[in-house]
Amino acid sequence: MLIRHRGFEPVVDSSVFVAPNAVLVGRVSVGPRSRIMYGAILDSEGSRIEIGECTIICENAVVRATALPGADHPMLIGDHVFIGPHATLLGCAVEPCCYIATGVTVLHGAKIHSGAVVAVGALVHARTVLPSEFFVPPNTIAIGDPVKLYSPDQKEAVADAIKANGFAETAFGIGAGWENRTVRYKQATEVRSKEFESHFDDEILSDNL
C-alpha cells in the first residue's frame, strides 16, 4: 500500500517487489531490485527514507524515520542490505552490504558501517556507531562511539550507558532527568502524539504495485 503523507508519496523503481500488505508512507524512495516483503512498514514521518539497490526488507520489519524541531533523523539504507523479519530501525543509517538479523532493533542516530552484522535479537542503541565489519552477537546491546557491548544481565552498566548516551533527547527531543521517569515518558508520548497527528491527512494512493 502506498500512502501520500505530508504532501510526499513513495517513489519505487519498477523492478522492486512490494508485497500487497506492505505499507510505504510518505517520502520513501526504493532502489532497483529491492524487495519489500509481507507486513513490512516504511514510514517517513516528517523526514525521509532512502533504500538502495537490491536491499531486502523482510516480513514485518518496521523502518521509520522521524523529525523533531532541530533533530532530523532520516532512515538511510544502502545497497545490498539485508534486514530480517521483525527488525525495527528508527532514524538510523545503514551503509551497503550490512546484515541486520531477525528481531534486531537499531535506534535513532545510530550508524552501521559497511559489512557490519547485527545478530538475532540484538540492540544497537541511539548514537551508536558500528565500525565496518563489526559483529554484534545475538541478544547483546551495543552502545556508544566507540562502541561497547553489554549483555542483558548487566543492568546497572546498561542503564548508565544509556543515560550517558542521551537517548530521550535524541529520540524525543526531551530533557527530563533520567531519574524522573514518569515525567519523561509523559513527555515522550506527547511528542509522538503531536508527530503522528499529521496522519489524519494521509491519502491512500494504491493498495499494491
User: Residue 9: what pLDDT?
Assistant: 96
CA torsion 78-83-86-90 (nearest 10°) is -20
Domains within the chain, CATH numbers bracketed: 2-206 (2.160.10.10)
- The whole-model pTM stands at 0.94
User: Residue 167: what pLDDT?
Assistant: 84
Q: What are 185-201's pLDDT values in tens digits? A: 898 899 899 999 999 99
Q: Are 47 and 29 in contact (CB under 8 A)?
A: no
Question: Which residues pair with residue 123 across a beta bridge?
Answer: 105, 141
User: Residue 48: what pLDDT?
Assistant: 98
- The conformation of residue 8, written as its DSSP 8-state character, comes to B
CA torsion 49-54-55-57 (nearest 10°) is 100
Cis ω before 96 (30° cut-off from 0): no
Half-sphere exposure of 168 (CA within 13 A, CB side): 20
Query: Which residues, given as ranges, of the chain have pLDDT below 70?
Result: 176-178, 207-209
